Amino acid sequence: MNEHLKIVIIGLDGASKTTVQLVGLKKDTIYDFISTIPPYTPPAWTSIFTGVNPAKHGIIGWQKIDINTLKTKLVTSHDVKYSRLSELLDTSGLKSIVINLPMTYPFSGIVNKNNTIIVSDWAAPEQTIYPKKLSQTYKEYLINPPHDWASHIENKKEYASLVKEYIQIRLNFYYELLEKEDWDLFFVVFSETDWFSHIYPHILEGKDKGLVAPIFKILYKFIQDAQETADITFVVSDHGFEIKNKVFYVNSALAKGGFISYSKTKLKLARLVNKVFPKSLLKRAVESSNAPSNILEATLNPEKTHAFMPPEPTTWGMYTKDASIKEKVKQYLQNFEEIKTIVESSKLYNGPHVDNLPSLFIIPAKGVEYSYKLSEKITEAKYMADHEIHGIFSVTGKGISEDINFSRLPTVYDIAPTILHIFGLPIPNDMDGRVLIEIFEEDSEFAKRKPKYVDPSYYEKRQEDEKLKKAIKNLKLKGKI
């Protein structure tokens, strides 16, 4: 096993090829990287971190939905149903540092973490670190991330300086972890690229670059320093971004087709509530129990609603009550030019949690953005930027080819198996991704060595052994054996 190899993964949330060149990466080192359907932060990062599809890890959005009552609940680390890469490494004695990865909060939802340091993600209700004993050391850096770009839309310049202030403090933190702590895998996600793409859509067209340049410059310096420290550095994004020029109100279209029934008075009331409570509150996990119910839940009549799109910004998922409705919805929606195609989730994904996913995914036509909101109109012209399926992939370091020819485009599922292979560890045979063998230099050890596959129980057994060892050690400490 290559115990002394150090691997860094830099995640740039929502970075497209244009954004990542603004950050500083050279054009010829950037490759396409295919996201999940939908190309959305929660399922995409979870797929990167597990190597499996949403029907196996169970995450498709920020919420889970009960189709019969229309009640929604925010998902947490406990809802991730497949072992994360850091957990597999942990059972093999390798150390990980995991920073700002969605669905890692609360830390109790991550089982194997004896050798792992975790810093909570931006959507967590508190900025904290695992193990707890480190919170004293790094307390001054655990500041709240300025993720709420939407509330700064009136003063865009101010937002950039707010983010700059934040990233300067946070980077000191990441440098300390990078340089002072012991690790084999260092995985950090920067959300700034996503926030900026939302608030400054023009940067995707190569305009307004001045606003983001100072932040991207310090970010790039960190990437370079991480590359110096690591043997191999991956830079990946969970999805890309594109300019949209039309909004399609999916639930309004469904209401028009008779699949949704709602009360206009209740809608007015719910809108009022939504105005009073900022969206950021709804997004933050713990407050959820006290947060006002979402606008759809408050408005729709559950008995007379047969299909709907859940209240999330970038989901393409559509929940339907039964199979006959699903067919009718498909036929009905197919007529809209804003929809490119409709796929059944069971044809797209396979795994034990497929029934918890939306039953249909409606793929938008280019430049179309979906909204779950109920509107008088079904479509509306609007200039904005939002998620797209082509993220970015870049890798440099020892044994890595400088000119990669991919036989198949890399996907979000390929990171976990590729990293296990680099570390010389076996890959659970139910992982959906593949080892990206094309990234290695032909004569490198990584290219010569064949990937090894094992039954998923291999890691479960190691974990059991680990627990047993710990229990014995504890008993010995207590003088009982």
Contact stretch for Zn ion (CB under 5 A) within 50-58, 116-124, 176-184, 231-239: 231-239
Between CA 297 and CA 292 the distance in angstroms is 10
Element (DSSP H or E) covering residue 353: none
- Please name which of 36, 49, 40 lies closest in space to residue 14, comparing C-alpha atoms: 40
Peptide bond into 131 cis (omega under 30): yes
Between CA 393 and CA 15 the distance in angstroms is 10
Cα-only R_g, the chain: 23
Residue 437 and residue 447 in contact, taking contact as beta carbons nearer than 8 Å: yes
Min dist. Cβ of residue 40 to Zn ion (A): 7
Query: Which is closer to Zn ion, CB of 297 or CB of 386?
Result: 386
Q: Is 317 in the site for Zn ion (CB under 5 A)?
A: no
Applying CB under 5 A, which of residues 5, 7, 11, 13 lies at the interface with Zn ion?
A: 13
Alpha helices in 155-245 (DSSP H): 156-180, 192-199, 209-229
Min dist. Cβ of residue 454 to Zn ion (A): 31
Alpha helices in 393-456 (DSSP H): 415-422, 445-448
Applying CB under 5 A, which of residues 16, 35, 41, 47 lies at the interface with Zn ion?
A: 41
Q: Determine the longest span between alpha carbons in the chain, in angstroms.
A: 74
Q: Is 359 in the site for Zn ion (CB under 5 A)?
A: no
Query: Which is closer to Zn ion, CB of 184 or CB of 238?
Result: 238
Applying CB under 5 A, which of residues 79, 90, 121, 238 lies at the interface with Zn ion?
A: 238
Q: Is 14 in the site for Zn ion (CB under 5 A)?
A: yes
Min dist. Cβ of residue 41 to Zn ion (A): 3
Between CA 49 and CA 44 the distance in angstroms is 9
Between CA 345 and CA 316 the distance in angstroms is 11
Between CA 227 and CA 331 the distance in angstroms is 51
Residue 442 and residue 67 in contact, taking contact as beta carbons nearer than 8 Å: no
Residue nearest to Zn ion (CB): 41
Element (DSSP H or E) covering residue 119: strand 116-119
Min dist. Cβ of residue 239 to Zn ion (A): 5
Query: Which is closer to Zn ion, CB of 38 or CB of 428?
Result: 38
And the tokens for 196? 């900026």
Contact stretch for Zn ion (CB under 5 A) within 16-24, 25-33, 41-49, 278-286: 41-49
How many CA atoms lie within 13 Å of 412's alpha carbon, on the beta-carbon side? 30
Contact stretch for Zn ion (CB under 5 A) within 5-13, 57-65, 127-135, 264-272: 5-13
Min dist. Cβ of residue 110 to Zn ion (A): 20
Binding mask 143-182 for Zn ion (x = CB under 5 A): ----------------------------------------
Min dist. Cβ of residue 62 to Zn ion (A): 11
Min dist. Cβ of residue 13 to Zn ion (A): 4
Min dist. Cβ of residue 33 to Zn ion (A): 12
- Torsion over CA: 37, 43, 44, 49 (sign): negative
Between CA 361 and CA 342 the distance in angstroms is 6
Query: Which is closer to Zn ion, CB of 100 or CB of 299?
Result: 100
Binding mask 188-217 for Zn ion (x = CB under 5 A): ------x-----------------------
Chain residues in the site for Zn ion (CB under 5 A):
13-14, 41, 194, 238
